[in-house]
Structure 1
Amino acid sequence: MTAQAQPRERLLDAAGDLFYRDGVNVGVDALCKAAGVSKKSMYQLFRSKDELIAETLASRGPRFQRALEPGPEDGTTPRERIQTVFQRQDRLVTGDRFLGCPFVNTAVELKNPEHPGSVVARHFKQRLTDFFEAELVAAGVDNPGSLAIQLTIVFDGASARAVVRAQALAGVGVAMAAALLDSAGVPAEEVASQAS
């Protein structure tokens, strides 16, 4: 965050850091102090703290997704693309800044499924499930929607384990995802050549 950043960006940056580290119950005074913005300015920029929570999550969500998902033109098979998410998660959780999935963290803390922050969190979690489902459709598996949900549960469970145990996953999520893909008959190699 630079001194030249506009108050809105400073608030989103500061809130993103504080909400992720300390939770969404951080007080408005602490948020404004960290951003170098007055409370009056904050309420001119955001109607409420609830709106700030939602917009902060929405602004950080795409960055978190890009850190996990392969690009659309990477040329790998659907199975490899799915496994990439779990391999990247495995690396991501080894950092000392990893405190869990920001979407799950926010939704669990808010507890209200109708809260604007919970709505944004649900949107991004659905995007991950949709990514898995699209790859499973491309792989030609039966019931791709159900398997996509199972993969999302593995992802979320692995994130939670990394936080609760305060240790690296050491490939646990990768292995569980591979077992699900194996049981669904998703081949390790030939999917791309079969599709062409």
Structure 2
Amino acid sequence: MSTTSTLPRPKPRDRVLAAAARLFIREGVNAVGVDRLAQEAEVSKRSVYQHFEGKDDIVAAMLREYGPRVVAGYFSDDEEQTPRERTLHVFDALQTAAEAGDFFGCPFVNVATELRDREHPAAVVARRFKDELTAYFERQAVAAGARRPRLLAEQLTLLFDGASASAAVRGGTPDAARLAGEQLFDAATR
């Protein structure tokens, strides 16, 4: 006897956030209206507004919800790796993501840049995630004995953002990003 189990359909709020992640990342925040979002999520517009105050709230909630999943793939907590290896893992993960074919750049930078308002709720969430990346790099720099760990962390974050933007525009990431990361890390920890 075979039984077929079906997963319960996600709740409307979750469907809206999933649709927001797909559409906002692929097409941009300003290109997608609430009507389209509701249609993609298969909910009524009224249902959207029952769960969210407005589009700004949806964008911020989407980044809060999906941000940790995005970031988790880039950070390594493997204690067997050296701080240098954990740092370079970020660039290896970026290359893997960029080569997947559906990479549109860093969603945090994309949203913050498109909104052009540093105090927008979604821009605040985006900044928090970028700060987490810098803090991750700084922890690795401290563990490796870098002379100026904060400076190295900021340089690596800038390199990551540039490599991410380049990957979105050109496709793939050049080995140059990882090599530059190696050179920055090695120079700061000699």
Superposed pair shares fold, TM > 0.5: yes
Give the aligned partner of residue 111 of structure 1: 116
1:11 is aligned to 2:16:
yes
Question: In 1, are the aligned partners of 2:91 and 2:160 still within 8 Å (CA)?
Answer: yes
- AA partner of residue 180 (structure 1): L
Query: Shift of residue 96 of structure 1?
Result: 1.1
TM-score by length of structure 2 reads 0.93
1:132 is aligned to 2:137:
yes
Residues 79-136 of structure 1, C-alpha deviations (whole Å, 9 max, x = no match): 1100111111111111110000000000000000000010000000000000000111
Query: Shift of residue 178 of structure 1?
Result: 0.5
Alignment: residue pair count: 183
The counterpart of 1:183, out of the listed 157, 181, 187, is: 187
> How do 1:1-150 and structure 2 match up within 5 A?
4-25=9-30, 26-70=32-76, 72-150=77-155
Quote the Cα distance in structure 1 between the aligned partners of 2:183 and 2:109.
24
Question: In 1, are the aligned partners of 2:78 and 2:86 still within 8 Å (CA)?
Answer: no
Query: Shift of residue 170 of structure 1?
Result: 3.2
Quote the Cα distance in structure 2 between the aligned partners of 1:13 and 1:55.
11
Query: Shift of residue 185 of structure 1?
Result: 2.5
Structure 1, unpaired ranges of 5+: 187-196
Secondary structure at 2:73 match in 1 = helix
Query: Shift of residue 74 of structure 1?
Result: 3.7
Quote the Cα distance in structure 1 between the aligned partners of 2:159 and 2:78.
25
RMSD value, Cα: 1.2
Q: Which runs of 4+ in 1 moved over 4 A?
A: none
- AA partner of residue 111 (structure 2): T
Percent identity for Structure 1 against Structure 2 = 46
